[in-house]
Structure 1
């Protein structure tokens, strides 16, 4: 089965739907009777109970009131909001600019001891140079049609956040597909500086950097870029949204995927050869 970054969101919504259904059954109500008490069409009740539609806060209040279970309202609204926050569109996150979302990660980075980061499309954020980060943020701002381009400030915030790699006793296991070394983000000078930075970072005692060669015999297919923070959560980066995975079952699936991807990677001298080859290809 493919890794599905939206599976945790759907499972969370199914759990809320099940709790609402239980409230209806505990009250001895049919779907039609609950719908009548709430003042909406029975099809809406069916969609909510089958997790085909996410209930609003008002829906949950009406549902629980109709079932004579007002004590369940607060918990169910909190669970519903949590499920909604797991899948957040970049457009919403970046509404106030790109810098804010970069700064918002700081508490998570500070409390994480072990980082496992897999990148299939761009350099790991914790190893991006200021020039590479600025070029990337500029591309993102342009693609999303940002009203105000604060990509320079966002890049500075990302680089500042990345200083955790040199502080404390944290461990960073980083994997990149070889293609990441070749993708041109910024001009040749920017890429040369970025690749040189990778070579320098490899000597840090806290960093393990692996490169998955083009020639690796795939036992697991390339994934979306994802980051595992201790055993707390996984962030998956989609084109349109960020997904935060917290379900223990799904989290362990990403841990397994990271282990399988690690088995494909080369480290040390072999990884340096691939980085150096990409550097020389810049001319």
Structure 2
């Protein structure tokens, strides 16, 4: 919320700083959840997926050639996509543009090294937005040997068709426009998009860590250290418990736990 019109310049500056701090707190927690994901454990493999690494094999005897992509397991990518998706949504508090703007606020007096790194990160995020015209890495046309190829489709169109047509919603994924690009093709592009988002999120997180360590960003240490991933088993120490017949009013159960005997209702006979 912005300060009222008669607020001082100092009040307005404080409000801006407070807003940017809130963005970065939320981002750091979310980005650390990406960093903790199983697909991010092997950084080299994550980078290979983000580069869209492909293997081309040619068989001289048969004259056949094949292209092979090493992709993540679908269920694992589904969960990584859930953790990464908020960075791509302009209305989300951790949308990458808001995060880099917040970092820019705190790094405005930082050395060139940090500010240049921020500029590179900001530029690297933009091609991942659905509205940006750049591809992430490739364009594709497909069709049968005997028929004309379909329209040229960008990897980003395929990736968002997977994200919103196959994964998150049941949106029309543009089958007619995507002509022949089946779920495997859409998933391949989705893997390229999501692993790139994961790489950018971790890079941005590392910049926030550098800003914190050099005292340009002074957030609570707990933001960087608190546990951000739920345990697969939950155990709670029980000090008291009570049992009661089905239908017992909650107030009576709470009174029993508190060691209080409920007073009889005088309105009853």
Does the TM-score normalized on the shorter chain lie above 0.5? no
Task: Return the structure number with greater strand share.
Answer: 1
Length-normalised TM-score, structure 2: 0.22
Task: Return the structure number with greater helix share.
Answer: 1
